[in-house]
A and B are shown apart, each in its own frame.
Chain A
């Protein structure tokens, strides 16, 4: 298990969120998530400018094993997507915390409140075994 960055927050479904300087929120999946999924072969990203809603699917990641939905943890509008993933989905495996980010969302209501910090997320991973 690699170190869990302290500069962001986490959902209990293994997504991470990081607030950027321009107020947008960057979303990705954790190292644990990419490891459980296996090698990614395809990432389906939303259109820039489209709306995302909390709890709804915003990205589909397909690994060699299965297709998995990534659910948006917040309401907002898609400000940017990681276009590099179109040709290099493996960036999510190789660099889940940085180069493998999925999308940036301009939040409708700021950061959601029910997120975990790095320590709480680490504790959840521990309890999941």
Chain B
């Protein structure tokens, strides 16, 4: 039985083409995923992301717990609303999940994790939390809507509860503002400006309708995937998983090795992996020819084979792009080829993102 979000009926009423995704019944598109993609790049779009889990941690040792659990250092956050992206590793240094965490108070934190991993994540969090006497509270009473695009904040502000409006518009990137059970964060997964808004589940459908009324285009999973790929953002399960560590997932920047005495889970393993000789890197690819690169295709480089971890059509570039894991020695090469169906086509190797804030960031020549 697939799970449904509080917005399920709204999606069906809007003609959403519903599909199974990570155990949830979610809209793939509401008609045209390309139009939804463009709405987010050029105007304003929104996604139901209520299938992701919102988890609250509370306890006198909550900070110590999260400094053990996460590869990034939560101690870097010290003001209410401050947010941080990072990964949670297994003891072998593989990525259990990527997540965003919020500082809410010295003993109170919130983390948002992926839909596909939520149950395993929460079980793991509870197991580790037991040693720290920290409560782990899955907030199934909340929904989450991401409004994204150059016009998203301005439009959405008009329908936010009065008490949140002013604070929300003043938020800097990667900070959040809370009022009651509402939380507005200037974060997202599209490469555009915008907010992720957490709110009581029983208010979600009415708020979604309000957002439609102010001209925000509902967008489905297909546009969410093409937008995040253009933004060079990893998808858990494709571009990283429990068998890949942060260095080979373009996420070394989220690992806090200082202070050296912080003994987070996976630390020893990834320090070893960092010094290994057979390293790989996650790079961007741009197809020079017509066609579409797909997940799982082989990349042929000067230093051996690599694999496409995410591929697709990039509407903003009008080209196909991909993320691919290749031997480190080939990561700085200008080009490679990808074996696609019956052909082997040349690709440029680039550094993601491909698109950010509406602008193409890679050379297309």
Stretch of B27-35, B55-63, B66-74 at the chain-chain interface: B27-35
Q: Does B228 contact A (CB under 8 A)?
A: no
Q: Which of B24-52 contact A (CB under 8 A)?
A: 28-29, 32-34
- Residue on B nearest A69 in the bound complex, by CB: B341
Q: List residues 259-300 of chain B with CB under 8 A from any CB of chain A.
A: 290-292, 294
Contact A38 B294 (CB under 8 A): no
**Chain A nearest CB: distance from B338 CB in Å?**
13
A76 vs B312: C-alpha distance when bound (angstroms): 34
Known: A62-B313, A64-B226, A67-B341. Contact between A39 and B292, CB under 8 A?
no
CB of B34 within 8 A of CB of A64, answer yes
B222 interface residue (CB < 8 Å to A):
yes
Jot down 9 A-B pairs with beta carbons below 8 A, ordered by A.
A38-B29, A39-B33, A41-B34, A41-B315, A42-B292, A42-B313, A44-B290, A44-B291, A67-B294
Which residues in window 45-96 of A have CB below 8 A to B?
60, 62, 64-67, 90, 93
User: B313, A38: Cβ atoms under 8 Å?
Assistant: no
CB distance from B319 to the nearest CB of A (A): 10
Per-residue CB contact flags for chain B residues 301-335 toward chain A (1 = under 8 Å, else 0) read 00000000000110100000000000000000000
Say yes or no: A64 contacts B341, CB within 8 Å. Answer: no
Task: List the B residue with the shortest CB-CB distance to A39.
Answer: B34
B313 proximity list for chain A (CB < 8 A): 41-42, 62, 64
Contact B222 A64 (CB under 8 A): yes
Interface size class of A (residues with CB under 8 A): 10 to 19
Which of A42, A62, A64 is most buried by chain B, counting CB atoms within 10 A of its CB?
A: A64
Inter-chain contact A64/B33, CB cutoff 8 Å: yes
A38–B28 Cα distance when bound, in Å, is 10
**Which residues of A sit under 8 angstroms from B341, Cβ to Cβ?**
60, 67
List the B side residues contacting A44 at CB < 8 Å. 290-291
Q: Which residues of B contact A42 (CB under 8 A)?
A: 290-292, 313
Q: How many residues of B contact A (CB 8 A)?
A: 15
Given contacts A42-B313, A67-B341, contact A62 B32 (CB under 8 A): no
Distance in Å: Cβ of B310 to nearest Cβ of chain A: 13
Report B-chain residues with C-beta under 8 Å of the C-beta of A62.
Answer: 291-292, 313
| A39–B226 alpha-carbon span in the complex (Å) | 12
Which residues of chain B come closer than 8 Å to A90, judged between CB atoms? 34
Residues of chain A in range 6-56 having any CB-CB distance to chain B below 8 Å: 38-39, 41-42, 44
- Give the residues in chain A near B290, CB-CB below 8 Å: 42, 44
Bound complex: CA A42 to CA B320 (Å): 10
Given A62-B292, A62-B313, 4 further pairs, Cβ under 8 A: A38-B222, A41-B292, A41-B315, A42-B292
Please name all residues of chain A whose beta carbon is closer than 8 Å to the beta carbon of B292 when the two chains form the complex: 41-42, 62, 67
From A94, which residue of chain B is reached at the shortest CB distance?
B32
User: B291 — nearest CB in chain A belongs to which residue?
Assistant: A42
CB <8 Å contact, A64 and B312: yes
A38 close to B33 (CB less than 8 A): yes
A110 to chain B, nearest CB (A): 31
Q: How far is the CB of B301 from chain A (nearest CB, A)?
A: 23
Task: Give the residues in chain A near B226, CB-CB below 8 Å.
Answer: 64
| A39→B342 CA distance, assembly (Å) | 23
Q: In whole angstroms, how far apart are the Cα atoms of A44 and B291 in the complex?
A: 8
* Closest CB in chain A relative to B114 CB, distance in Å: 21
Q: Which of A60, A65, A66, A93 has the most CB of B within 10 A?
A: A65
Q: How far is the CA of A11 from the CA of B346 in the complex (A)?
A: 36
